Amino acid sequence: MSAERHEYDVIVLGTGGSGLRAAIAAAEAGARTAVVCKCLLGKAHTVMAEGGVAASLGNVDPADGWETHFQDTMFGGKYLNNWRMAELHAREAPDRVQELERWGAVFDRTPERKMSQRAFGGHTYRRLVHIGDRTGLELIRTLQDKAVHSGIDVFMETIVTRLVKDGDRVTGMFGYHYATGAQVAFACRSLVLATGGGGRIWRVTSNSQDCTADGHALAYEAGADMVDMEFVQFHPTGMVWPPGVAGLLVTEAVRGEGGILRNSEGERFMERYDPKRMELSTRDVVARSIYTEVKEGRGSPHGGVFLDVSHLDPAYVKMRLPSMYDQFYELAGVDITKGPMEIGPTCHYFMGGIRVDAETGQTIVPGLFATGECSGGMNGANRLGGNSLSDLLVFGRRAGTSAAQAASDAPAPRLPEAELALAAAELGGFLTGDGLTGPAEDPYRLHRELQTVMGDGVGIFRDEAGLETAIGRLHELEARAANLRAPSARLDYNPGWRLCREVRNMITVSLQIARAALMRAESRGAHSRLDHPRYDDYWSEHNILICGDGGEMTLEARPVVTSDELTELVEARQEAERV
Amino acid sequence: MSTDGAQTPIADQTGEATTRTLHIWRGDLTDGGLVEFEVETAPGMVVLDAVLEVQRSQAPDLAVRWNCKAAKCGSCSAEVNGRPSLMCKTRLDHLPEGEPITVEPLHAFPVIRDLVTDVSWNYEVNKKIAPFTPKPDADWLIGQEDADRMSEFRKCIECFMCQDVCHILRNHRMHDRYFGPRFLIRLASLEMHPLDDLDRIDQISGEAGIALCNITKCCTEVCPEGIHITDNAIIPLKERVVDRRFDPLFRLLHRRPR
Amino acid sequence: MTTQAASTPPAARRTGTPPLGATMRRDRWWLQPVLIATGLTLFGIYSIVVAALNTDYDYLKGGARYLSPFYSPDLRSLFGLHIPFTYAFFVIWAPLGLRTTCYYYRKAYYRSFFLMPPACAVAGRPRAAGRYTGESRLPFILQNVHRFFFYFATIVLGFLWYDAIRAFFYHTPTGTRFGIGLGGVVMVVNVVLLSAFTFGCNSFRHLIGGRLDCFTCSASARARHGAWKKVSVLNGHHQLYAWLSLISVGVTDLYIRLACAGVFTDPHHIF
Ligand SMILES: Cc1cc2nc3c(=O)[nH]c(=O)nc-3n(C[C@H](O)[C@H](O)[C@H](O)COP(=O)(O)OP(=O)(O)OC[C@H]3O[C@@H](n4cnc5c(N)ncnc54)[C@H](O)[C@@H]3O)c2cc1C
Ligand code: SF4
Ligand code: SF4
Ligand code: FES
């Protein structure tokens, strides 16, 4: 095998917030570290994050503290969260955010010149540290600059298609340079997956092109197990028109700043669904409410509802929501200071993901760590806005540090030639058609069909029949995916080639989602079963784990990871919600 | 509240199928030229939609870089009808009707293939800029006024279109002597940070090459984030260089305590 | 799908500098440089001619006193300067220098006269590799003296204010009396526009507050930030005021010149 080779102590796959934070931590711990990503540095999905990063600094509402943040997160996640993760997250988020400022991040300020914090759905206090509506960009740029000066090597536009194992242990990964098609193998003592989510499985999504659930699939194939895959967050407010931008996110900050939701009859319909929190109810509730309004014929002309900030001072709107103003003005021809936006739910975030140890981000596979959106457990059945960026920082750092520590005890990584040959054959097969057993399948077409299947059967509302049909069709797609072939045989910058492996990943992960959704016979958080509209006592204490050892996908219900020290806090909140 | 009349009329809102002609530059470092494609348009379609449609249905190996499709990541920069533009933010119906639309890769950087260029030079330049280095006694109190000034520069999505349009790089190809507007605003955001401890003027007037900029403002004209690159970053930095290097009076009055 | 012959690959553009005017832009990008070049040339010729003429710049009829902005301050009475030729050149170097080194005008003439570049994404005058020096060498390194022209031009501006106010005080047999004449109004408009231009100067914006790294660290910093904000507003319209004040200077001079020559009488009312 003549592929280009690299060796590091720690390799991080992904340059979103979690990947960069992990790499910085690993480098600080003394590990020789590299990051690898499909995109260019600084352009990962995280740049799109708008609203803010949740941390109970208490700058605006001094009553806030980690306990309340923990309780809010648990309540938002409908108590399926890994308690310990939710605790660590709430405890450490303030430090992580302050550290960003030490590294040069600039956030909006209070009159006392401290970091300002804004209200967001499901957060008891004003908690989201932000800068305008481009907080993700600030986070990425800050981490990017920190990483660049931490002696981390960066491999951009390098697509990883397989993890390489030596026996039980992950020792590296295999991929290719997008620009040339040249194959490359990476060997490492610890590998951190930070590959983000998989929103591209749905047609209407706020996610960027990179979000094809690669990390989920790669880890699963390498023997890691998944948790909470049935929980996919549909953000209530995405653009619905024009068609080219359908799904593009309208930040929750619009509601945080006082935006009002109305149906085509002009009614403020949230009064009927959640009179207490209204527009700032949790995302699952708002998304379902909007969906219901549209379904019952009270939608806007393009199949959404109206979100209005035109009652606010135009100058204020332009100052606080500048990129929303631009987005609607440029793309939809709507001046949001004058008229309402048309919005509808859009696929946004994977609560579920690779199961990891709360403290270290270690998966059940030796040598393999995961962090960020591709890992699961922290958010339970539903994520609160702003809790992802803080999650990236808290667990990115933990994963990076632990990966570096583990690397110092790990054996020198070996990349078995047989594994590399297998990976190379798979990748090459997409180009040459070697090993196809039937007519070649076009990746663009298969992707669209997948999106249709998932949109039809595994959307916001689900039921048994729909899920079963979807699973049947997914198995068909899975079989056809064995014959994926890129429409062009070029090596350099060939988008169809790249999509082949991505489509395969997405099908694998779609099956996990659909099967877990079928198994969870209740409605909870982001998972709504029309045939099981209520909470179920058994399921309220169990997560669904998925593992694929031996090629067979098996699902298992396992009790939620609780913690005695936190019982009091959790029970206090449950009590409060009951009254 | 009334909900009608909110949507301003847009040319083809009726949804009638129309087609547009695209002239897309295809090729690599050795050779290339414009290739003509027809695409069916949909309401509100942007150039990137059209290019991806060509990729899907007519030229599956067409190379194009994009990621967010929301004007937030700065990946999809290209030259549309001769002007640097984000393809995902440029609507077809804002371009002159009845004329073909030309789409070319950025000119200031080596082309990899088709619409994709090698922008790695920018990352090399960025490495030369020392990171934010807080004052040892920093109290971490920053006023909104200070945050506002810095955050204008920090809005940059690194689309590198300002670098592309800047004649120093584009025409004179002085990549070895000029950092370009993108990195002058980066330097500005650090130089003007109330808590940054480093003196950056020597780098700004030295290897960054600010004196090469003749403030012709093309960078500002193309910036998709509306950053006032020249007025708020480059000119103020030039003035700071004058303080240091060309103004004896100023030096006399503001002798730094040693 | 057809390949068009007419296009150059970007790769080819990189070897050697592209020819003047090379662009894929199809709008009328040349219009702006042409208009600007015309405007600046006309004003340049007008001001040199007017300054050289040494006549018709001091309107003294009907008790009024209107002094042309090209001849202010009046060095004759100020320093008892008596020379047989025009003194205007001893005056106008300051405002002219301010404009010549002004960041806006630099942009305007670099584009329209020096074609570097004539418009955005349009190739400028070709040069041998590395021969472009921008403002790092003579002559353009001299632009760095801009702030000194600002100081001097501000002094001249003070005199223009003095002239404009004086234009409302008429010498009558019964002493100095207040009056309003059209010439006075023209002079006030002119000096207001000139002030809007001058105090929108980038150097001034820097000196008044821009050079601070912290706007909020002390009461004086906050005050200077307030001033900087106001200057920034003017600075945001620097191009507009640059042109309006250029026109108003010409118009003011022309008004006084024609009135002196007796083409019309200045309408006025003395109270
Ligand atoms: C529009 C929008 C707004 C949001 N706003 C907020 C908010 O206000 N607050 C908040 O907390 N959260 C927000 N989120 C959610 C949050 O941004 C994401 O959950 C988070 O950024 C995910 O970060 P990550 O580090 O896990 O991965 P990502 O940022 O998704 O990065 C994934 C990385 O992995 C790389 N990668 C993936 N697969 C491969 C492969 N096979 N080979 C090589 N590289 C690969 C990619 O190139 C990329 O670099 C928002 C999300 C969206 C879409
Ligand atoms: S103003 Fe300066 S940096 Fe901007 S394009 Fe012109 S020469 Fe380049
Ligand atoms: S300054 Fe503006 S044009 Fe330049 S890279 Fe940043 S966003 Fe793009
Ligand atoms: S695709 Fe991200 S800016 Fe266009």
**Is the CB of B29 inside 8 Å of chain A's CB atoms?**
no
Is A508 found in the same domain as A421?
yes
Nearest chain C residue to B218, by CA: C120
Q: Which among A529, A512, A524, A510 has a CA at the least distance from the CA of A466?
A: A529
| Position C180, amino acid | I
The token pair at A28 is 């600080």
Task: Read off the pLDDT band of C19 (50, 70, 90).
Answer: confident
The token pair at A364 is 């059940």
pLDDT for C76 equals: 84
Characterise C122 by phi-psi region: left (phi > 0), alpha (psi -120 to 50), beta (else). Answer: beta
The residue with greater pLDDT, C83 or B15, is C83
Q: Which among A195, A227, A194 has a CA at the least distance from the CA of A212?
A: A195
Is A331 found in the same domain as A422?
no
Contact list in B for residue C207 (CB cut-off 8 A) is 239
Q: Taking a C-beta distance cutoff of 8 angstroms, is the pair C247, C241 a contact?
A: no
The token pair at B15 is 């949804």
Q: Tell which atom from ligand 1 comes closest to the C-alpha of A135.
A: 8
Q: What is the CATH number of the domain that holds A279?
A: 3.90.700.10
pLDDT for B258 equals: 42
Contact list in B for residue C25 (CB cut-off 8 A) is 81-83
Residues 6+ apart with CB under 8 A from A186: A5, A6, A7, A8, A11, A34, A36, A160, A172, A173, A174, A175
Chain segment C102-114, per-residue pLDDT in tens: 999 999 999 999 9
The separation between the first and the last C-alpha atoms of chain C, rounded to the nearest angstrom, is 81
Is A448 found in the same domain as A337?
no
Task: Please tell me the number of Cα atoms within 13 Å of B10 on its side-chain side.
Answer: 24
The token pair at C208 is 């008044």
Q: Which among A256, A257, A235, A254 has a CA at the least distance from the CA of A246?
A: A235
Is A524 found in the same domain as A421?
yes
pLDDT for C78 equals: 81
The token pair at A176 is 């290719």
Chain segment B23-46, per-residue pLDDT in tens: 999 999 888 999 999 999 988 899
The token pair at A12 is 């991080």
Chain segment C169-198, per-residue pLDDT in tens: 999 888 899 999 999 999 999 999 999 999
**CA torsion angle C68 C73 C75 C78 (round to 10):** 130
Average pLDDT over residues B89-110: 94
Find the catalytic residue in A69, A255, A383, A485.
A255
Is B73 touching ligand 4 by the criterion CB < 6 Å?
A: yes
The token pair at A264 is 């085509």
Q: Which ligand gives the minimal distance to the CA of B157?
A: 3
Question: Which of A320, A345, A370 delimits the end of a domain?
Answer: A345
Residues 6+ apart with CB under 8 A from C7: B23, B25, B32, B33, B34
Is B218 touching ligand 2 by the criterion CB < 6 Å?
A: yes
| Position B96, amino acid | P
**CA A192 and chain centroid, separation:** 16
Q: What is the CATH number of domain B18-117?
A: 3.10.20.30
Q: Taking a C-beta distance cutoff of 8 angstroms, is the pair A40, A155 a contact?
A: no
Give the H or E element holding residue A153.
strand A153-155
Shortest alpha-carbon distance between residue B5 and chain C (Å): 33
Mean pLDDT of the residues in chain C: 90
Task: Read off the pLDDT band of B257 (50, 70, 90).
Answer: very low
Q: Which ligand gives the minimal distance to the CA of B185?
A: 3
Find the catalytic residue in A32, A118, A235, A355.
A235
Q: Taking a C-beta distance cutoff of 8 angstroms, is the pair C86, C54 a contact?
A: yes
Cis peptide before A366 (omega within 30 of 0): no
Q: Which among A300, A313, A384 has a CA at the least distance from the CA of A343?
A: A300
Tell me the backbone φ, ψ of residue C122, rounded to 5 degrees.
-120, 130
Report the distance separating Cα C32 and Cα C267, nearest Å: 38
**A 220-249: CB under 8 A from B:** 241-245, 248-249
SS3 track for chain B: CCCCCCCCCCCCCCCCCEEEEEEEEEECCCCEEEEEEEEEECCCCEHHHHHHHHHHHCCCCCCCCCCCCCCCCCCCEEEECCEEEEHHHCEHHHCCCCCCEEEECCCCCCEEECCEECCHHHHHHHHCCCCCCECCCCCCCCCHHHHHHHHHHHCCCCCCHHHHHCHHHHCCCCCCCCCCHHHHHHHHHHHCCCCECCCCHHHHHCCCCHHHCCCCCHHHHHCCCCCCHHHHHHHHHHHHHHHHHCCHHHHHHCCCCC
Q: Taking a C-beta distance cutoff of 8 angstroms, is the pair A414, A171 a contact?
A: yes
Nearest chain B residue to A50, by CA: B72
* pLDDT higher than threshold 80 for residue C209: yes
Q: Using the beta-carbon criterion (under 8 Å), do A146 and B131 form an inter-chain contact?
A: yes
**Residue A442 domain flag:** yes
Task: Name the one residue in this structure whose structure tokens are 């015309």.
Answer: C38
Q: Taking a C-beta distance cutoff of 8 angstroms, is the pair A91, A55 a contact?
A: no
Report the distance separating Cα A98 and Cα A92, nearest Å: 10
* pLDDT higher than threshold 80 for residue B208: yes
* pLDDT higher than threshold 50 for residue B3: no
Report the distance separating Cα C225 and Cα C216, nearest Å: 8
Which CATH superfamily hosts domain B120-253? Alpha-helical ferredoxin (1.10.1060.10)
Domain ranges of chain B: 18-117, 120-253
pLDDT for B17 equals: 66
Is A335 found in the same domain as A429?
no
Q: What is the CATH number of the domain that holds A477?
A: 1.20.58.100
Q: Which among A75, A42, A72, A79 has a CA at the least distance from the CA of A55?
A: A72
**CA R_g for chain C:** 23
pLDDT for C3 equals: 39
The series of mean pLDDT values per 10 residues for chain A, 579 residues long, is 86 98 98 97 95 95 97 95 97 98 96 94 94 94 96 97 96 96 97 97 94 97 96 94 89 89 94 92 89 92 93 91 88 93 94 97 98 96 95 98 96 95 95 89 96 94 96 97 94 94 97 97 94 94 90 93 92 87
Average pLDDT over residues B142-150: 96
Residues pairing with B18 in the sheet: B41
* pLDDT higher than threshold 90 for residue B238: yes
* pLDDT higher than threshold 80 for residue B183: yes
- Residue A302 bears catalytic tag: no
Name the closest-CA residue to atom 2, ligand 2.
Answer: B213
Report the distance separating Cα C47 and Cα A54, nearest Å: 63
- Cβ burial of C254 (10 Å; 0-12, 13-18, 19+) is middle
pLDDT for A541 equals: 95
Question: Which of A292, A317, A345 delimits the end of a domain?
Answer: A345
Question: Which of A293, A316, A345 delimits the end of a domain?
Answer: A345
Name the closest-CA residue to atom 1, ligand 4.
Answer: B69
- Residue A288 bears catalytic tag: no
Domain ranges of chain C: 29-81+94-125+133-270
Average pLDDT over residues B100-118: 95
Which structural domain, as residue segments, surrounds residue A504? 417-538
- Cβ burial of C130 (10 Å; 0-12, 13-18, 19+) is exposed
**Residue A517 domain flag:** yes
Shortest alpha-carbon distance between residue A244 and chain B (Å): 6
Q: If you measure from the C-alpha of residue A349 to the centroid of ligand 1, how many angstroms do you get, rounded to a whole number?
A: 9
The residue with greater pLDDT, C124 or B84, is B84
Name the closest-CA residue to atom 13, ligand 1.
Answer: A49
Report the distance separating Cα B57 and Cα B59, nearest Å: 6
> Collapsing DSSP states into helix, strand and coil, what is residue A190?
strand
Axis-axis angle for helices A417-432, A495-519 (nearest 10): 110
pLDDT for A2 equals: 59
**Residue A335 domain flag:** yes
Q: Taking a C-beta distance cutoff of 8 angstroms, is the pair A232, A347 a contact?
A: yes
Q: Which among B62, B66, B58 has a CA at the least distance from the CA of A494?
A: B62
Name the closest-CA residue to atom 3, ligand 3.
Answer: B223
Contact list in B for residue C151 (CB cut-off 8 A) is none
C19 secondary structure, DSSP code: P
Q: Which among A50, A39, A46 has a CA at the least distance from the CA of A18?
A: A46
- As for the ipTM of the complex, it is 0.92
Chains that touch A (3 or more CB pairs under 8 A): B
Give the Cα-Cα-Cα angle B52, B163, C130 (nearest 5 degrees). 130
**Residue A242 domain flag:** yes
Tell me the backbone φ, ψ of residue B239, rounded to 5 degrees.
-65, -40
Q: Which ligand gives the minimal distance to the CA of B188?
A: 3
Q: Tell which atom from ligand 2 comes closest to the C-alpha of B162.
A: 5
- Cβ burial of A565 (10 Å; 0-12, 13-18, 19+) is exposed
Residues 6+ apart with CB under 8 A from B48: B64, B66, B69, B76, B87, B88, B90
**CA A52 and chain centroid, separation:** 15
Q: Using the beta-carbon criterion (under 8 Å), do C134 and B37 form an inter-chain contact?
A: no
